[in-house]
Structure 1
């Protein structure tokens, strides 16, 4: 074979390998971006659903509006939370999925507890701690997976 043909073959092989490498790198970046976005969204939705539950916990269950608040929370309040949870299950690593599942369970328990009676502020301060600790664990699992150093402070100061 002459050198021109060998050079052409080498160039084609180089292009093919480069394109294969680019496709693989792009796929890896896409998966990483999906994972990171799902983690961020789940954390953001925690704040939203936590506020819905807080509003229920401090509301008077003997009022007419309370039943409407509960119904709205059940039909609309958890949609975005559930969607974000599913995204973590689809894209997340096993440790982060475990932490997200534990958080979901604590949020569900908090929601059911908030429906039983009106909580004075000091009682609310206590019943919310397990959910807040689960959130801290979720954030720690995400930061570990993303190779981010742990912060020297807690997100919620009362979870220490």
Structure 2
């Protein structure tokens, strides 16, 4: 009876050992999977947040440049406005661009760099007083608008979102295009 009892206990111990080992391996694989999934979600959240910050800061920075470009102030007041804009108007923009440089894909980094350069050129034109009226402003801002639209397109692509036609500036001479009609946008979504 002792031999039979020993083989039963030994068999149960072996089964218990393998069950415990399988449980540990399962927990380790599950934790590894959770860590990997969590890391992927964190990276996507960082990308989304940095892209959103660029879009928000573009609006703020663009408006600051517009104010400088279209001000009719005398030389001293104009210079004070330029210095005020330089000292406080670009820190948040620079931070948003740097976050995209860190977290963005190659296409998005290239797009945000082009956008940064276009805004810089627009600000330089404004501070050099090469923009005298709204007509010149509308022409000068076109490069920044195109760069912004390219950034939005690259960011949406990186986040696996369907393409959406974005137009940041609307001219009074322009008529709405069919690309801005909800039916066509929904049609584009269905195709992707």
Coarse TM-score class (shorter-chain normalised): over 0.9
- Whether contact under 8 Å (1:61, 1:115) holds in the other structure is no
Distance 1:116 1:70, change over 3 A: same
- Whether contact under 8 Å (1:45, 1:81) holds in the other structure is yes
Counterpart in the other structure of 1:154: 167
Distance 1:145 1:46, change over 3 A: same
Aligned counterpart for 1:28 among listed residues 40, 49, 56? 40
Could you give the per-residue CA deviations for residues 117-159 of structure 1, whole angstroms, max 9, x where no partner exists? 2521111111111001000000010111112222245343459
**CA distance in 2: counterparts of 1:142 and 1:73, whole angstroms:** 27
- Structure 1 segments of 4+ aligned residues over 6 angstroms from their partners: none
Q: Does 1:110 align with 2:122?
A: yes
Counterpart in the other structure of 1:81: 93
My pick for the range that moved more, 2-11 or 117-126, is 117-126
Aligned residues: 160
Counterpart in the other structure of 1:143: 156
TM-score (norm 2): 0.78
**CA distance in 2: counterparts of 1:128 and 1:150, whole angstroms:** 23
Q: Does 1:55 align with 2:67?
A: yes
**CA distance in 1: counterparts of 2:105 and 2:72, whole angstroms:** 41
My pick for the range that moved more, 18-27 or 55-64, is 55-64
- Whether contact under 8 Å (1:61, 1:67) holds in the other structure is no
- Whether contact under 8 Å (2:57, 2:93) holds in the other structure is yes
Task: Flag structure 2 segments of 5+ consecutive residues without an equivalent.
Answer: 1-12, 178-192
Q: Quote how far apart the aligned CAs of 1:61 are.
A: 5.1
| SS of equivalent residue, structure 2 residue 46 | helix
Distance 1:29 1:101, change over 3 A: same
| C-alpha RMSD of the superposition | 1.7
TM-score (norm 1): 0.93
My pick for the range that moved more, 113-122 or 88-97, is 113-122
**CA distance in 2: counterparts of 1:152 and 1:51, whole angstroms:** 22
